[in-house]
Amino acid sequence: MKIAVLPGDGIGPEIVAEAVKVLHALDLRFEMEEAPVGGAAYEAAGHPLPEATLELAKEADAVLFGAVGDWKYDTLERRLRPEQAILGLRKELGLFANFRPAICYAELTHASSLKPELVAGLDILIIRELTGDIYFGQPRGRRESPDGAFRGAQEAFDTMRYSKPEIERIAHVAFQAARKRGKKVTSVDKANVLETFQFWKDVVTEVHAQYPDVELEHMYVDNAAMQLVKAPKKFDVIVTGNMFGDILSDEAAMLTGSIGMLPSASLNADNRGLYEPSHGSAPDIAGQGVANPLATILSAAMMLRFSLNQAEAADRIESAVKSVLAQGLRTADIYSEGTRKVGTRDMGDAVVAALRTQ
Ligand code: NAI
Ligand code: MG
């Protein structure tokens, strides 16, 4: 098993080091190879996603990614900016399914944006389609308006589109994920207004025929946004398009407490994938040793489960994380009175210690 380790910028190297430490503590055989990405790669090689880094990511079974970006690169031309690295990796590796679990750990209920009784025990999974939709549809651009009341005025336009195979493959991913969880899929659309999402709804319904053991519900995106704050525990797996998924997954993140707790996975058709925390490079706290490494450690657990076929090791990491939280250890972002504040390294060490005493 080969893991490409791409720490990136800001807090990336600090949090990835802790995840690597935890992986080593599992006593499984991995080959891990590190390469620069993002601003770090721009400094080292003049490009945010150098050829050698891309090659490593392509040949590995999985990519463990930290974060990229820093304000100091804001003036670079777009193709050289650190964030292009993650877009390039998604495209080159064909990563079309983005998994974002939103889990509210009992000990962190108080940190949620919602009332404790609404989020206690929350465990939902948002699956966002990552390569289609209005973010990539052509044509797009600016022009003189060809018709209508504002004919001749400047206008801008994008194209929303999904092909049947694109919807089918993400629907299969969602139904298969639901089979391993609560056996319910909520497909989020805007079928009442958009042809693209009427089509989405039709195709998801067709695929559902192959999964009679999983319940399928359809929900309009505006209602889904409301239900996520009203009764989030009613969901199990949510599957939706690129734009709706972008928005709903950030909304769901706030149900759980801290962005420092949220892992993510982006998978391709061979179940190879890229695993990264949901947060960015946090330049405001970089180099201080205070960042929360748990999102990255939990991303490594997802990597074991989805790409490396090591579900048991994944369970071990997740229960070690629960146990350090139960012990009262907290990084600054999840600290509250009566708990013990620790830094990035101490948190990683505590997870390793918890693994050893399982
Ligand atoms: P951010 O997620 O980096 O930070 C937002 C806030 O959350 C900050 O106050 C930060 O200190 C805090 N935070 C984030 N992760 C934390 C952790 N593990 N522990 C404790 N606190 C944490 O988002 P922001 O500030 O909007 O972006 C910073 C840079 O990251 C930008 O250059 C942005 O483009 C990039 N970015 C990169 C992503 C990626 O690599 N996939 C995703 C999102 C942003
Ligand atoms: Mg977003």
Structure tokens at 150: 């504002």
Q: What per-residue confidence (pLDDT) applies to 67?
A: 97
* Block residue for tokens 């053991």: 213
The DSSP bridge pattern shows strands 329-330 and 184-189 to be unpaired
What pTM was estimated for this model as a whole? 0.91
Q: What per-residue confidence (pLDDT) applies to 289?
A: 98
Would residue 21 show up in a list of annotated catalytic residues for this protein? Answer: no
pLDDT per 10-residue tile (average), the chain, 358 residues? 97 98 94 97 97 97 97 92 93 95 85 84 95 92 95 96 97 96 97 98 98 98 97 97 94 86 93 94 97 98 95 96 94 91 98 96
CA distances for 154 relative to 14, 139, 148, angstroms: 47, 16, 12
Which CATH code of 3.30.390.50, 3.40.718.10, 3.30.420.130, 3.10.20.600 fits the domain covering 1-96+265-358?
3.40.718.10
Q: Rounded to an integer, what is the distance from CA 206 to the centroid of its chain?
A: 27
Q: What per-residue confidence (pLDDT) applies to 336?
A: 86
Please tell me whether the interface predicted TM-score (ipTM) of this complex is above 0.95.
yes
Angle at 94 between CA 91 and CA 97, to 5 degrees: 110
Q: What per-residue confidence (pLDDT) applies to 109?
A: 80
Q: Using CA positions, which residue lies closest to atom 26 of ligand 1?
A: 280
Domain boundaries, the chain: 1-96+265-358
Among 72, 256, 279, 334, the mutation site with the greatest number of ligand 1 atoms within 8 A of its Cβ is 279
Gap from CA of 167 to ligand 1 centroid (Å) = 30
Q: For residues 279 and 67, give the distance between their C-alpha atoms in angstroms, rounded to a whole number.
A: 8
Q: For residues 280 and 295, give the distance between their C-alpha atoms in angstroms, rounded to a whole number.
A: 11
Angle at 327 between CA 325 and CA 329, to 5 degrees: 60
Among 259, 278, 346, the mutation site with the greatest number of ligand 1 atoms within 8 A of its Cβ is 259
Tell me if 254 CB under 6 Å of ligand 1.
no
